[in-house]
Each structure stands twice: as structure tokens, then as C-alpha cells.
């Protein structure tokens, strides 16, 4: 048996301006996701969890909480962009051109816009990307710019490898 190393993410040196990553995982949003997230974040706008209330709006159904969509699309990008993140510096110009509904499946992609050295930390670089999320029909539902600090190769903590006892 040959043991193969698991994916450990990209480091700062692995990125180039212009790279586009189509993130591999889509996610269908359930009514429970929308309700739980809305209640967990104490954002009780009935448009997100009260189907009767929402039936009286122009959409006739609940709209997914926008901060859930932001969190989901950010999460979808971690495998490609920020598995080796030191810190997020910010999300800018978050735009939601179309509503997201329960039952929609969300996909995403990111483009690397800028790379620069950190002025304060030699073991880290600064990465700026533009990420878009789109639904199952290819309609853009969110876009944002994200800036983050990414460890340089060999400069951050090691991702733990579990020890397996021989059986």
C-alpha cells in the first residue's frame, strides 16, 4: 500500500494574478438551513422563515438570508483559496443582484486579482480575489471582493495528520 499525501491547500506562492478557480462543491439550500441560520444570527425578518408572510410578497416564497449566502459562497472557496489563511482582512462591495430561494443550488468561482507581500509579516502574503456565486441556472446571485492573509509555504502551522494504529 502506498500512502499518498492529502490536499493541504494552496500557499501564497501558489497563486498568480488572473487565476480562476471554479470551486468544486455546489450546495442546495434547504428550508431548514434558511430558518436555522436566520434564528442563530438573531435576524428575525419573517421574509426568511415565515412561509405565510413570504407568500404575500412579490416572490410568493421565502428569500434565503443574504448573510447565509455570503457565508456559503465564502465557505465554498476555502478549498481553493484560504485553507492556509492567517486572517481575513475584509469583504468589500458585496452585491446581491438576484434573490436566492430555498431549493436553489449555489455554485461559485473566484479570480485572483492582486498579490502582494505583507508589510508587517514576512511569513505571509496578501491575496485579493473577486468571488461570484451563481444558482443552478447560471444566474449570478452574489459577488464580492475578499482580501486575506495567506501563509507562505512552510511558514504556517502544519495541518495535523492523524496517527493510525496498525491493525
Q: What is the pLDDT of residues 123-160, one digit of tens each?
A: 999 999 999 999 999 999 999 999 999 999 988 888 77
Q: How far apart are CA 90 and CA 85, in angstroms?
A: 13
Average pLDDT of the residues of the chain: 93
pLDDT < 70 positions in the chain: 167
The residue among 30, 89, 92 whose CA lies nearest residue 65 is 30
- The residues, ordered by sequence, that sit 6+ positions from 19 with a Cβ below 8 Å of its Cβ are 111, 112
How is residue 93 written as a grid cell? 462591495
Bridge partner residues of 149 (DSSP): 87, 126
Q: Say what the pTM is.
A: 0.89
Fold of 12-151: Thiol Ester Dehydrase; Chain A (3.10.129)
**What is the predicted pLDDT for the residue at 157?**
86
Amino acid at each position: 500500500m502506498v500512502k499518498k499525501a492529502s490536499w493541504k491547500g494552496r500557499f501564497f506562492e501558489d497563486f498568480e494574478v488572473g487565476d480562476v478557480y471554479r470551486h468544486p462543491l455546489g450546495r442546495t439550500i434547504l428550508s431548514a438551513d434558511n430558518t436555522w441560520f436566520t434564528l442563530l444570527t438573531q435576524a428575525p425578518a419573517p421574509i426568511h422563515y415565515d412561509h405565510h408572510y413570504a407568500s404575500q410578497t412579490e416572490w410568493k416564497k421565502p428569500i434565503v438570508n443574504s448573510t447565509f449566502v455570503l457565508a456559503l459562497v465564502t465557505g465554498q472557496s476555502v478549498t481553493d483559496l484560504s485553507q492556509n489563511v492567517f486572517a481575513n482582512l475584509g469583504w468589500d462591495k458585496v452585491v446581491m443582484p438576484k434573490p436566492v430561494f430555498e431549493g436553489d443550488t449555489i455554485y461559485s468561482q473566484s479570480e485572483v486579482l492582486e498579490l502582494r507581500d505583507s508589510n508587517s509579516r514576512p511569513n505571509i502574503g496578501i491575496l485579493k480575489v473577486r468571488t461570484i456565486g451563481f444558482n443552478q441556472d447560471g444566474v449570478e446571485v452574489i459577488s464580492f471582493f475578499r482580501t486575506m492573509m495567506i501563509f507562505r509555504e512552510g511558514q504556517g502551522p502544519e495541518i495535523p495528520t492523524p496517527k493510525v494504529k496498525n491493525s
